[in-house]
Amino acid sequence: MSHPHPHLGPPPPLPANGLRIIALGGLGEIGRNMAVFEFGGRLLIVDCGVLFPEVDQPGIDLILPDFTAIRDRLDDVEAVVLTHGHEDHIGALPYLLREKADLPLVGSRFTLALIEAKLGEHRIKPYTLEVKEGDREQLGPFACEFFAVNHSIPDALAVGIRTPAGLVLHTGDFKMDQLPLDGRLTDLGGFARLGAEGIDLLMSDSTNAEVPGFVTAERAIGPVLEQVIRTARRRVIVACFASHVHRVQQVMDAAAAANRRVAFVGRSMLRNMGVARDLGLLHIPEGLVVALDTVGDMPPDRLVIISTGSQGEPLSALARMANRNHRQVRIEAGDTVILASSMVPGNETAVFKVINGLARWGATVVHKEIAMVHVSGHAPAGELLYLLNATRPSNVMPVHGEWRHLRAHAALAEASGVPRERIVLAEDGVVVDLVDGLASITGAVECGYVYVDGLAVGDVGESSLKDRRILGEEGFIGVTVVVDSVSGKVAAGPFVSGRGFSDEPAVFDAVLPLIQAEMTRAADEGVSDAHQMQQSIRRIVGKWVSDNYRRRPMIVATVVEV
């Protein structure tokens, strides 16, 4: 964990009439969304998500928001409001509830159902409050009003937060599909009503702020999926997000029209689709779904498999298929694989690796670059401008995006008439205070990455990751020397071994005399400190490696005194 803003000191005490906002994740990154609101000594949290690791974070499973700033104030939290059920908005809840298990969770029916299923795996029974669009809830000093928004998951909500300090509209993730598959439109009229009342701060989704125009309707995907599935010669495998109920419904409808059966692959896919079916959000015709164990006996041209793994996750079902080590599904020539999702920034290399793996075995891979099999769940620039013009906020704080997205959104806000000094560009940990109608940066709190590695949370830091990167990229050299504790002379060794450095057994023969000479010099000079001798060995071996190989492996020297 770190303090990423050394130029900003701790914030001053919050004025009695002020509202404080601190993002503990989601700014400057796609994921880890979490915002904390403070008024009158009480706190309200909006979202609590995870960030998925990149290739330069080896061994890491998840990245959590940094709870340090609120860890001693969890008794002040009125509730955690969840805008929707994507992992980058709810995935860190099990770790937050480990700190305080009775924090009230507020969200829509589908969002809470997904959360309860997830927390059940962690043996946590949450305290929940179900809300829907149009509802109003008084959560301590925070009067919250909920609005329907269209997104790539059912039951997504925006939230208006009223306090004596002013009115904040937090959109969550949204787009403005004018022909949504479930008929649930983004409540632009409700947003405009808040605008007429006077929105003091708009916190709005920035993910697609660089993309011009308006979003393509989800309905445009259905005919493409139907055509691909109808004309496929063998099995069709569709990879999409395990929470994208509307996309799964489209695939199932296309499969039924082509007289094919459907099987689900992936634990999260099975869990989420079961929840969606039970809530009436997913309509499955009788006899359409078959168990995965039975697909080996079915004609290949009568089957559609819906799988997780659209982001190239190494352990996902699709990645295991691409590597031909999935227990039940073996990719064969003539299979068709549809990637019905976009690539999360940072996952491009992993996704293309999976695509190449599938193509190697003769599969035809269809993705959004070559066919209309996916549309984004986030509002592009035209829709963001529409929202800005409909709400006319006094202050704007772009959220949910990398720096390029935040700056593009800020430019849109300025173009729509918001004064530049009222557009707040913040990062995780930066404190923004809304006082007397003006939002401004007043300081920063400790806020770094918290890594989950297996069952360990927060044990791995940047130093360990640096070591892992060196091991992965340059390899490891170990040197062991046994010295006489009295004379300091070498009693045995040196013994040199390596991992990931060279496959040539005799590679270290040339460095042994150099180590021996260094140990002799140290003994002659009366050096008896083991740590000092280890440092000398590391220096000698490091110089030899650099001079001869231009590499920087990890070098571990051990001096044993006998």
pLDDT in tens, the chain (562 residues): 334 566 788 899 999 999 999 999 999 998 899 999 999 999 999 999 998 776 667 666 788 899 999 999 999 999 999 999 999 999 999 999 999 999 999 999 999 999 998 898 888 999 999 999 999 999 999 999 999 999 999 999 999 999 999 999 999 999 999 999 999 999 999 999 999 999 999 999 999 999 999 999 999 999 999 999 999 999 999 988 888 999 999 999 999 999 999 999 888 888 899 999 999 999 998 889 998 888 888 899 999 999 887 665 665 778 888 888 888 888 889 999 998 887 666 667 777 888 888 888 998 989 888 888 888 899 999 999 999 999 999 999 999 999 999 999 999 999 999 999 999 999 999 999 999 999 999 999 988 888 777 666 766 667 776 766 676 677 788 888 887 776 667 777 788 888 777 777 778 888 888 888 877 787 777 777 777 788 888 888 888 888 887 878 888 888 887 7
**pLDDT recorded at residue 441:** 95
Q: What pLDDT is stored for residue 93 in this prediction?
A: 95
CA gap 89, 93 in Å, rounded: 9
Structure tokens at 361: 């075995």
Q: State CA 391 to chain mean position distance.
A: 29
pLDDT of residue 51: 84
The pLDDT value given to residue 1 = 31
37 by DSSP, 3-state: which? strand
> Which of 413, 439, 404, 346 minimizes the C-alpha distance to 21?
439
The 10 Å Cβ neighbour count of residue 276 is 25
| Structural class in CATH, domain 19-213+377-453 | alpha beta
- The CATH T-level fold of domain 218-366 is Rossmann fold (3.40.50)
462-561 CATH choice from 3.40.190.10, 2.40.50.140, 3.10.20.580, 3.30.1220.10: 3.10.20.580
How far apart CA 331 and CA 170 sit, in angstroms, is: 44
At residue 2, the pLDDT reads 37
| Tokens 């919250």 found at | 144
State the pLDDT at residue 558. 84
Sheet strands side by side (includes 104-107): 127-130, 104-107, 77-81, 42-46, 34-39, 19-25, 430-435, 438-444
- Edge-to-edge, what's the strand order for the sheet holding 476-483? 490-499, 476-483, 554-561
pTM recorded for the entire structure: 0.85
What is the DSSP pairing of strand 364-366 with strand 336-339?
parallel
Reduced 3-state DSSP string for 283-303: CCCCCCECCHHHHHHCCHHHE
Euclidean distance between CA atoms 552 and 549, whole angstroms: 9
Give the pLDDT confidence score for residue 346 in this predicted structure: 62
Place of tokens 């999260």: 268
Q: Return the domain boundaries, the chain.
A: 19-213+377-453, 218-366, 462-561
pLDDT for position 555: 83
